[in-house]
Amino acid sequence: MDRLIEAIEEAQNPSVVGLDPTPALVPPQVVDSFTDEVRESIEDESELPAARLAVAYFEFNRAIIDAVADIVPAVKPQIAMYEAIGPAGVDTYTMTCEYAQQQGLYVLGDIKRGDIGSTAAAYAGHLSGVTDGDGLYDPWHEDAVTVNPYLGTDGITPFVEAATAHDKDIFVLVRTSNPSSSELQELELAGGEKLYERTADLVEGWGADTIGRHGYSHVGAVVGATHPQEGKALRDRMPHTFFLVPGYGAQGGKAGDVAGMFDADGSGAIVNSSRGIIGAWRKSEEYREDMSADDALDLVARCARKAAQDMRDDLRVNVYR
Amino acid sequence: MDRLIEAIEEAQNPSVVGLDPTPALVPPQVVDSFTDEVRESIEDESELPAARLAVAYFEFNRAIIDAVADIVPAVKPQIAMYEAIGPAGVDTYTMTCEYAQQQGLYVLGDIKRGDIGSTAAAYAGHLSGVTDGDGLYDPWHEDAVTVNPYLGTDGITPFVEAATAHDKDIFVLVRTSNPSSSELQELELAGGEKLYERTADLVEGWGADTIGRHGYSHVGAVVGATHPQEGKALRDRMPHTFFLVPGYGAQGGKAGDVAGMFDADGSGAIVNSSRGIIGAWRKSEEYREDMSADDALDLVARCARKAAQDMRDDLRVNVYR
């Protein structure tokens, strides 16, 4: 986790921008502008919507990355949004990750993978790349990935090994930000503790042998901003586990809600906002349906930059130091 | 689940072949045979191992699909194996799914996705495809997908809706086959039941409004063959939930271990074998390192067919009717 912590220090900003494009979050003229170019490369007209979005998502992401790269330490592309448009979207996901890394950003791939031993080892290829003797090919360009704990230790170990070997990190789901997360995660166990607390203890243990120079291991935890009290208790319970905190902004979390997830030094957590930043242009009075695609992307970028600055300042004042 | 149940009836075979290629499971001369062809299409020599495997995996899968399509009702490609080689592998995954559907097979995509509401809706695109007004584009070619329950109902609902709308299915992880699955899944709750039993009740409920003409809903469950007693109890507990049973063969499960997961009519479950079928060639005395790629693929196909027949006959005698 050292690389992420140092990137946060340098930016003086514990926030990460979620790159989660949807058809509604990309200005329609941007999508339309690729129609002719894309039509030449598809086999069937039915592929046009997905193919246009795949190109538009990358240009949208690039505009945002360029606008925030000097403000935030990290981005978090959510692979579901890209899988929604098929393999062409997956290509856009990897291109986005690669571009973000080239701009010096730490790339947290929100992939929430999880499976049993040999299959988890295959998923760990997201971090370890493809090797063949001397060469190493890294097709995914991720610095960290999110992982689901439901299958237990043998589904996690391959990720921990890959992360440690390549100085990357994983973030395991502990307490997610959605309303029905309580159905399983809050179940009370026979010993009196909650399921997510047991998960938390497992996560702290999975990272125990990988603690870096800033006191945090290669194994982080996902703890939603919508659970401020539980988050504060988890901060004490998991002293070597760095938190990824989703749910700020559009999902309702505020700086006060995440304050307890930071440690006494103002470290220990990074807060994500997605729609609040990449969709900030939709609240702008400057937007007009008859704008050019270039002007719309410029507006997207300016609004994202402003929203990222506001979030940074909110966290600096209320949480960080 | 009706389409799957009827395909099983027609084949008189409740088994599914796991298409989980790894570098060790594909004969090396098959991989080598694509070196020259692939080298022309890559930008950097470091991409060669992944690019060769991507092509070799498809040819390997095609040989197996052709060999078993008249024996088994379904195949289950494990997307982790394809993601392990990057986006080119994801293309191979979708090409494999499409080819298997063209051969009349039900395609169960083992993707184990799971996320919160709006993100789960994006993942549900695996089943619903991409729509834009009139057109529908289905880039994934899956008839069902596996889903992780750790995030609760709002992470599942989008999948159930997509499955119901498109006559497809989902299979939710309940009791997985791996050793450390017990760490969370077997935890005893304050009320005395186990966590996986609570998950089971949720799964049965998620499907309750989608029960088809054969008595099973669009929402199935993953129950490992390595837990025969628990599987039998779950069969009673989840009367409208069809089971996907991994862990037969290479993971140690036998027909007797899965018998309890079938209902009184011999329906209610489908049993997966991966390495036991696609890797059967490795136990053949016919294999020689200096075989041609074509001869090696022919051997792969013949051994897979024999192993699939043996598994079918084992299940027919011991389980099915």
B178 to chain A: nearest residue by CA? A116
Taking contacts as CB-CB distances below 8 angstroms, the residues of chain A near B123 are 80, 83-84
Please report the pLDDT score of residue B11 as a whole number.
97
CA distance B150 to chain A (A): 6
Q: Which of A48, A116, A179 sits opposite B176 (nearest CB)?
A: A116
Rounded to an integer, what distance in angstroms lies between the CA atom of residue B142 and that of residue B248? 23
pLDDT band at residue B257 using 50, 70 and 90 as cut-offs: confident
Rounded to an integer, what distance in angstroms lies between the CA atom of residue B18 and that of residue B246? 9
- Judgement on whether residues B166 and B104 belong to the same structural domain of the protein: no
How distant, in Å, are the alpha carbons of A160, A292, A302, B129 from that of A28?
41, 10, 17, 20
- Judgement on whether residues B166 and B20 belong to the same structural domain of the protein: no
B134 to chain A: nearest residue by CA? A46
Taking contacts as CB-CB distances below 8 angstroms, the residues of chain A near B125 are 83-86
Check A155 against B177: CB less than 8 A apart. Answer: no
Tell me if B2 is assigned to some domain.
Answer: no
Interface probe with A: pick from B83, B85, B202, most Cβ of A within 10 Å: B83
Q: How many contacts (CB atoms, under 8 Å) link A and B?
A: 214
Domain extent for A74: 2-318
Q: What is the dihedral of CA B184, B186, B189, B194, to 10 degrees?
A: 130
Please report the pLDDT score of residue B177 as a whole number.
87
- Judgement on whether residues B193 and B246 belong to the same structural domain of the protein: yes
Contact (Cβ atoms closer than 8 angstroms) between residue B315 and residue B268: no
Taking contacts as CB-CB distances below 8 angstroms, the residues of chain B near A83 are 122-123, 125-126
Token representation of residue A266: 């103002």
Check A152 against B49: CB less than 8 A apart. Answer: no
pLDDT band at residue B285 using 50, 70 and 90 as cut-offs: very high
pLDDT at A78 over 80: yes
B86 Cα distance to chain centroid? 20
B188 Cα distance to chain centroid? 29
pLDDT at B134 over 80: no
Taking contacts as CB-CB distances below 8 angstroms, the residues of chain B near A203 are none
Q: Mind listing the pLDDT tens digit for each residue in A167-211?
A: 999 999 999 988 898 999 999 999 999 999 999 999 999 999 999
Taking contacts as CB-CB distances below 8 angstroms, the residues of chain A near B223 are none
Please report the pLDDT score of residue B311 as a whole number.
95
For residues B25-33, average pLDDT: 96
Token representation of residue A104: 């010096």
pLDDT band at residue B247 using 50, 70 and 90 as cut-offs: confident
What percentage of chain B carries pLDDT values higher than 90? 87
Check A87 against B83: CB less than 8 A apart. Answer: no
Interface probe with B: pick from A32, A150, A193, most Cβ of B within 10 Å: A150
- Judgement on whether residues B126 and B152 belong to the same structural domain of the protein: yes
Instruction: Give the active site residue among B76, B112, B168, B306.
Output: B112
Q: Which of A50, A78, A198 sits opposite B130 (nearest CB)?
A: A50
Check A46 against B185: CB less than 8 A apart. Answer: no
Contact (Cβ atoms closer than 8 angstroms) between residue B80 and residue A115: yes
Please report the pLDDT score of residue A247 as a whole number.
85
pLDDT band at residue A149 using 50, 70 and 90 as cut-offs: very high
Interface probe with B: pick from A90, A97, A223, most Cβ of B within 10 Å: A90
Check A135 against B46: CB less than 8 A apart. Answer: yes
Check B47 against A91: CB less than 8 A apart. Answer: no
Q: Mind listing the pLDDT tens digit for each residue in A86-133?
A: 999 999 999 999 999 999 999 999 999 999 988 999 999 999 999 876
Q: Structural domain tally of chain B?
A: 2
Check B190 against A185: CB less than 8 A apart. Answer: no
Please report the pLDDT score of residue A318 as a whole number.
82
pLDDT band at residue A69 using 50, 70 and 90 as cut-offs: very high
Please report the pLDDT score of residue B320 as a whole number.
67
For residues B194-221, average pLDDT: 97
Check A81 against B122: CB less than 8 A apart. Answer: yes
Interface probe with A: pick from B45, B95, B116, most Cβ of A within 10 Å: B116
Check B180 against A152: CB less than 8 A apart. Answer: yes
pLDDT at A250 over 80: no
Taking contacts as CB-CB distances below 8 angstroms, the residues of chain A near B150 are 148-150, 173, 176, 184-185
pLDDT band at residue B140 using 50, 70 and 90 as cut-offs: very high
Please report the pLDDT score of residue B44 as a whole number.
87
**Alpha helices, H only, B104-185:** 117-123, 125-128, 157-165, 182-185
Q: What is the DSSP letter of A245?
A: E
Write down the ipTM of this complex: 0.95
- Judgement on whether residues B312 and B235 belong to the same structural domain of the protein: no
Please report the pLDDT score of residue A306 as a whole number.
98
Token representation of residue B115: 């996320």
Please report the pLDDT score of residue A117 as a whole number.
87
Rounded to an integer, what distance in angstroms lies between the CA atom of residue A23 and that of residue A21? 7
Rounded to an integer, what distance in angstroms lies between the CA atom of residue B111 and that of residue A113? 8
Q: Which of A48, A148, A189 sits opposite B189 (nearest CB)?
A: A189
pLDDT band at residue A267 using 50, 70 and 90 as cut-offs: very high
- Judgement on whether residues B88 and B58 belong to the same structural domain of the protein: yes
Check A20 against B120: CB less than 8 A apart. Answer: no
Rounded to the nearest integer, the mean pLDDT of chain B is: 94
pLDDT band at residue B64 using 50, 70 and 90 as cut-offs: very high
Taking contacts as CB-CB distances below 8 angstroms, the residues of chain B near A181 are 116, 151-152
- Judgement on whether residues B39 and B106 belong to the same structural domain of the protein: yes
- Judgement on whether residues B148 and B209 belong to the same structural domain of the protein: yes
Token representation of residue B257: 């271990």
pLDDT at B156 over 80: yes
Respond yes or no: is residue A112 known to be catalytic: yes
CA distance B1 to chain A (A): 23
Residue B8, SS3?
Answer: helix
Domain boundary pick from B268, B286, B304? B268
pLDDT at A134 over 70: no
Please report the pLDDT score of residue B321 as a whole number.
62
Rounded to the nearest integer, the mean pLDDT of chain A is: 94
In DSSP notation, A124-152 reads: THHHH-EEETTEEE-SS--SEEEE--TT-
Which CATH number characterizes residue B254's domain? Answer: 3.20.20.70
Please report the pLDDT score of residue B256 as a whole number.
83
Domain boundary pick from B268, B295, B311? B268
CA distance A78 to chain B (A): 8
Interface probe with B: pick from A32, A35, A112, most Cβ of B within 10 Å: A112
Tell me if B135 is assigned to some domain.
Answer: no
Q: Which of B60-69, B87-96, B235-244, B247-256 shows the lowest per-residue confidence on average (mean pLDDT)?
A: B247-256
Instruction: Give the active site residue among A76, A112, A283, A306.
Output: A112
A54 to chain B: nearest residue by CA? B130
CA distance A43 to chain B (A): 12
A43 to chain B: nearest residue by CA? B137
Please report the pLDDT score of residue B277 as a whole number.
97
Taking contacts as CB-CB distances below 8 angstroms, the residues of chain A near B49 are 130-132, 135, 137
Token representation of residue B38: 């692939």
What percentage of chain A carries pLDDT values higher than 70? 98
